[in-house]
Structure 1
């Protein structure tokens, strides 16, 4: 790919900044990232993969309610796009996070939300902690083939009993000699049906809920693992599963980093996930508004284009304003992330606003398509269904508000 040939001095991306704390000084960074000709080469590479290997088949995969993740991810892996910030020794490009931002934005050119969801689980939800804290053995066994597109990865945090209260998860991984015996279940697992391995958060010992959990690299072809597909309202082609564990045996050496630090690792890992989700959402909303503007230019009622209606063009201008303001927050957070700062506060704000604004954009824009917007033939109807998940997955709106309140020190004080 042309982009790969133009990279001269790759910068190693530092995945995490200082340790996550309950309270922190609010970010003072006011810079924004800058895109270069190299970023544009990466964008061209992403668009080419999408136009050739993804969009021609999206409608079929939406009908089938699954896309061939191994086939698709391999194409992205061959283009060097699944490990943009990962170390070169594990098949990555070793670039800074600004290139990931460009990548996430280009994923908006995919004609559905399900495939970008699966891709970003692969690139920025399952492997950040493994990259930062995993042993060389685990990186060779799991990170390198995931970045190459040979493995499909998923994340196992949420459970049938609840997803938001991570400290209260019930899945256990008890030590037996040199092995861990895993029992329990995980739910809402994107890529779960086809995944080769899971970044699993489980209780590995007794003790305080924030100090008794570990992240474990779990091969999903291990005996005792069973998956069951979940049928969803949107994100239809993204396979989503319940995964059951019945005396599943994996080596203790599959624990990422230090045993008992899994909760902390996952909380830090959420920074990647939420910033990634907000970035992709901004680009998706931008595309929706742009396509709605074009539709309203072409569609006429009472002899005039819809776009001439003041309510319509004012509304679209208002939506564009909101999108641009959110983009500024995302870029500010990304710049801070590159600098090694703790971006939990800004990432939570961006994720919260992205979920809410996505619903508003898809709803208001669908209205201007009239009856056509309510049909499966129009991409706006798919966007309407897909966008609703953003306020739930990766931390609900309410969880984001709670995090923001912690940083503002305005949560009620515990009594007794």
Structure 2
């Protein structure tokens, strides 16, 4: 690390409790996450015990109400905590964001009885969730999903395949979007499916270029039977549940991207300060100094976009446009910054002896998950220009 560090010394944290929380997270990642991150990622080890620790520490349910076991923290605080987790190990930061996404449908659209029954264990009881919207033939076009839920008395029977599911096969519960009616967004309903439900199975995890410790798999529902009490919201309200969840999920991914980019910058700053060429530290050469300056500027701009969206959410104002902007800018920034970090380390940056090559591989997926960045541009354009004309 450079003498002054590259991270802001003072975070925008509104309370002493939030500042203590940040201190707790930094202590956890220093002791439990960071030291084993490179080794476990290389070996493809899923950090289940880490998630249990985060749950016991109250860090898996930070943005949800305290009455149900959550942390009761505003998104302004939650996203900064998520950034710290992702900087230590993206598998952990991304997994925490996905878990929050999986809880969203119940927390916002579930009945009071549903929330009281299931939310405490999901937020602080050691459980881990997954979110099931995408399918093999409907990724960005989520409204065309084919998984079906057919009512059978006071139960539903779910049949279909979900794809690209983070925590697929290891989650304790899944928020599943399924078609219950007409084609299009109005015929979709959300369900809370337990991980041990009969007829539920996961394919072998995908072989990915990064995030090897985070399992991503297809999920097969072969006549999964669940009671109507596990329906989240009204029948046909599922697409609203999905869109609402995705706005929050995009902010989570943006915060993870900032954390990953920051970690890459920290490595580049340390290396260029210590490595000497021609009798001078690399950080003395103007061309490299300008690269580091650009990287730092992009990260700060992304962090500001992310926290601006968080403030709007916390104030109860619309934030879909800002969430899409944050996801787009922060993930593109993570890709640029991690690539530049590899370049700054030269041949060392291309080896697994330094973490920046892993950061670069991991950054790519952030431009894809929670809606590709091409989709984010479509979302932003609709807010800025208006809907596309239909001929």
| Alignment TM class, shorter chain as reference | over 0.9
Kept in 2: contact 1:33–1:332 (CA 8 A)? no
Distance 2:306 2:228 in 1: 38
Distance 1:151 1:140 in 2: 15
Which one of 163, 174, 180 corresponds to residue 187 of structure 1?
163
Residue of structure 1 in register with 2:334 after alignment: 358
Which one of 306, 309, 321 corresponds to residue 285 of structure 2?
309
In structure 1, runs of 5+ residues without a counterpart are 1-31
Which one of 81, 104, 107 corresponds to residue 103 of structure 1?
81
Distance 2:374 2:71 in 1: 36
Residue of structure 2 in register with 1:11 after alignment: none
Q: How does 1:33-44 map to 2 (within 5 A)?
A: 34-44=13-23
Which one of 321, 341, 346 corresponds to residue 322 of structure 2?
346
1:80 and 2:73 aligned? no
Q: CA deviation at 1:410?
A: 4.8
Distance 2:355 2:41 in 1: 12
Q: How does 1:3-18 map to 2 (within 5 A)?
A: none
Q: How does 1:77-226 map to 2 (within 5 A)?
A: 77-110=55-88, 112-123=89-100, 125-205=101-181, 207-226=182-201
Residue of structure 1 in register with 2:354 after alignment: 378
Q: CA deviation at 1:138?
A: 2.8
Partner SS state of residue 189, structure 1: strand
Taking structure 2 as the reference length, the TM-score comes to 0.93
Q: CA deviation at 1:231?
A: 1.3
1:395 and 2:377 aligned? no
Q: CA deviation at 1:141?
A: 4.1
Partner SS state of residue 339, structure 2: helix
Q: CA deviation at 1:257?
A: 1.3
Partner SS state of residue 405, structure 1: helix
Distance 1:33 1:407 in 2: 28
In structure 2, runs of 5+ residues without a counterpart are 1-10
Partner SS state of residue 285, structure 1: helix
User: Residues 95 and 34 of structure 1: is their aligned pair in 2 closer, same or farther, counting only changes over 3 Å?
Assistant: closer
How many residues are aligned here?
A: 380
1:64 and 2:43 aligned? yes
Which one of 226, 236, 248 corresponds to residue 272 of structure 1?
248
Distance 2:254 2:324 in 1: 9
1:239-283: per-residue Cα shift (whole Å, max 9, x none)?
111111111111111110111101011101111111111122223
Residue of structure 2 in register with 1:48 after alignment: 27
Bigger mean CA offset, 284-293 vs 308-317: 284-293
Distance 2:305 2:161 in 1: 36
Residue of structure 2 in register with 1:6 after alignment: none
Kept in 2: contact 1:179–1:251 (CA 8 A)? yes
Partner SS state of residue 211, structure 1: helix
User: Residues 353 and 50 of structure 1: is their aligned pair in 2 closer, same or farther, counting only changes over 3 Å?
Assistant: same
Residue of structure 2 in register with 1:252 after alignment: 228
Q: CA deviation at 1:75?
A: 0.7
Residue of structure 2 in register with 1:294 after alignment: 270
Partner SS state of residue 54, structure 1: helix
Distance 1:288 1:58 in 2: 14
Distance 1:402 1:170 in 2: 23
Bigger mean CA offset, 284-293 vs 342-351: 284-293
Distance 2:112 2:186 in 1: 24
Bigger mean CA offset, 404-413 vs 385-394: 404-413
Distance 2:46 2:138 in 1: 27
Distance 1:83 1:395 in 2: 23
1:365-405: per-residue Cα shift (whole Å, max 9, x none)?
11111111111121101101000001100100111011111
Partner SS state of residue 239, structure 2: helix
Which one of 336, 341, 344 corresponds to residue 368 of structure 1?
344
Taking structure 1 as the reference length, the TM-score comes to 0.88
Partner SS state of residue 151, structure 2: strand
Distance 2:359 2:374 in 1: 23
